[in-house]
Amino acid sequence: MPAQVDLHMHTTASDGRLTPPELVRLLARNGLRFVAITDHDSTEGLAAAQEEALAHPGLELIPGVELGADIPEGDVHILGYFIDLESEELQTTLQDFRGGRDERGRRMVERLAEIGLAVEWSRVEELAQGGAIARPHIAQALVERGHVETMQEAFNKYLGKGCPAYVSRSKLSPEDAIRLILRFGGLPVLAHPARYVKNLHTYLPSFVEAGLVGMEVYYKDYTVEEVAWLQRLCHRYELIPCGGSDYHANGSADEVAPGSVGPPLASITRLKALLS
C-alpha cells in the first residue's frame, strides 16, 4: 500500500520544480491524506498550496518549512511544522535567510567563472522562479550550459562541500533553528538524519534538550536497517517518527515519487496532540 502521509516536499518556492498547486494536485491524485510542503527558508508557496488543497477534501496540507543549520561535520536540516505563517518576525527572518542564499549563489557563480565554467546569474534566477535560490538551480544551469551531464555530476565535481565552487553560507546552530521554530509556534523535526549527521547519538541529547519533537525515520531511500536504527533512537528519546520523500520533481537519480514514503498516520495524531 502506498504511504498516506508525506511530510517532506519542495516546490518552486525553493528548489522544487512543481508549483505548489501542481504538487498538491499530484498528491491528491496519488491518494495522499496528510502532506507537508517544506520549502527551504520559505513559506511563500503555502497560500497557493492551501487554496488548491481546498479543492481536495480528502487531503490535509500541513504548513512546513526546512531550515539549514551547521555542525562541524556538515549540514543539519530542521523541519518546522504548523509554524505561524502570519508572524511578521518569522517572515523577516526567512527573508534574511533567502538574502544569504542569494548572496552565496552569486559568489558560487563567480567561482565557477574563475574555473572556466560560465553560467549567467540571470539564468540561475530565472530557474529559481522567484523562490529561495539553492545549489540545484546552479546545478541545472551548469547542465544547460553543457558543463556537466547531470545535476549529480555538478554536485560531485563543483558544488558539493569541499569542491572548487562551494561557498558556505552563515547558518544557525541546530539548537537555534529548533528554538526558532518553537518561538513561532512550530514543531521542530530533524530531517534525514541517517546520511547527514555522522555521530547522531552525540548530537541528539542537545537537540532534544532544545525542544526537538521528532525525527525523520522514513525517508526517500533509507534501508530497512537505517529505519530500524532510527526507530530505536526515536523510542529512546521519545521523538515522533516522521519522514517523507523529499520530492523535488527534478528527475535526479535518487528521486522517489511523492507519497511513496512516509510515517504512519499515528505520527500525525501525535504531532497534532502537541499543538493543543
Interface residue list for ligand AMP (CB under 6 A) = 15, 40, 68, 134-136, 151-152, 155, 160, 248, 252
Q: Which is nearer to ligand AMP, 7 or 59 (CB)?
A: 7
Residue 62 interacts with which of ligand AMP, Mn ion, none, CB < 5 to 8 Å by class? none
Q: Which is nearer to ligand AMP, 196 or 237 (CB)?
A: 196
Closest contact distance (angstroms) between CB of 131 and ligand AMP is 11
Q: Which is nearer to ligand AMP, 15 or 216 (CB)?
A: 15
Q: Which is nearer to ligand AMP, 202 or 252 (CB)?
A: 252
Closest contact distance (angstroms) between CB of 155 and ligand AMP is 4
DSSP 136-171: HHHHHHHHHTTS-SSHHHHIIIIISTTSTT------
Site residues for Mn ion per CB under 5 A: 15, 66, 77, 191, 246
Three cell numbers written together for 113: 567563472
Q: Which is nearer to ligand AMP, 46 or 53 (CB)?
A: 46
121-128 and 135-144 helices, crossing angle to 10°? 120
Residue 238, SS3?
coil
Residue 160 interacts with which of Mn ion, ligand AMP, none, CB < 5 to 8 Å by class? ligand AMP
**CA 103, 108, 113, 119 torsion-angle sign:** negative
Distance CA 128, CA 91 (A): 19
**CA 18, 24, 25, 27 torsion-angle sign:** positive
Closest contact distance (angstroms) between CB of 150 and ligand AMP is 9
Distance CA 59, CA 88 (A): 28
